[in-house]
Amino acid sequence: MDKRLKKMTAIFFLAAAADLFLAAVLLASLARQRAEGAAAPGTGRVVEDGGWDGLGTEEAGAVALTFDDGPNARYTEALLDGLKEREVRASFFLVGQCIEGNEDTVRRMAEEGHLIGVHCMEHRDLTRESEEEAVRQLMDTAAMIGAVTGRMPEYIRPPFGKWSSGLQEAVPMETVLWSVDSLDWKLQDTDRIVQRVLKDTEDGDIILMHDEFQTSVEAAMEIIDNLLAKGYTFVTVDELTID
């Protein structure tokens, strides 16, 4: 073998060895990726492009969407349409003085399986009224709801969350507050409401919204679509365990 041929042979073997080494490294790294993929926990799957497929393989939890200050002649029907389309039930806390003229909407809420509770008669801070007057307003509102739906409400959400132990004793209804405040009345911006609610919502949450703005209705639909895709279910407040 002449010198030149020897050198070529040596280069060939070196190159072949380098290829083998690279192949071994690649195989090892592929095996590791597969092992990590198989061990990944969670309810969704990471798809090829690195994105999230958005489909849960198990339920992510149950949440309750709640709407105060209705019924609203302009927006509540649109909200009910969207809820029906998505087969989602919500809870509505009504203002007594808004019921007159919107009885059909209230009846529809009941017929479509939504929970109807009492908010107030005139949206005032009940702790600033005499207890007697506050109780009268709440019971009058309950009676109005009962007359329209045929069923007396069992839940109350006081305006501004202002409540007292005296009122709790005098009013034969369970109090429901909230754990996620959408601030929809203040933001009136669909994207910001959606982001705010999705950031804070987890299993067992009660989300506070108001069916008196277009942006609230739009945001509610986006929130529902997003949480349904994550595997959440929507329940009425009586179906959540309230401590």
- List 69, 184, 210, 211, catalytic entry: 210
Toward Zn ion, which CB reaches closer, 62 or 183? Answer: 183
Is 68 a binder of Zn ion (CB under 5 A)?
A: yes
Binding piece for Zn ion, criterion CB under 5 A, among 10-18, 67-75, 179-187, 219-227: 67-75
**By the rule CB under 5 A, 184 interacts with Zn ion:** no
CB of 185 to Zn ion, least distance (A): 8
212 lies in the site for Zn ion, by CB under 5 A: no
Interface segment toward Zn ion; rule CB under 5 A; list 19-27, 97-105, 155-163, 234-242: 155-163
Write out the chain in H/E/C secondary structure.
CCHHHHHHHHHHHHHHHHHHHHHHHHHHHHHHHHHHHHHCCCCCCECCCCCECCCCCCCCEEEEEEEEEECCCCCHHHHHHHHHHCCCCCEEEEEHHHCCCCHHHHHHHHHCCCEEEEEECCCCCHHHCCHHHHHHHHHHHHHHHHHHHCCCCCEECCHHHCCCHHHHHHCCCEECCCCEECCHHHHCCHHHHHHHHHHHCCCCCEEEEECCCHHHHHHHHHHHHHHHHCCEEECCHHHCCCC
From the list 68, 69, 184, 211, the catalytic residue is 68
CB of 49 to Zn ion, least distance (A): 44
- Active-site residues, by number, are 68, 210
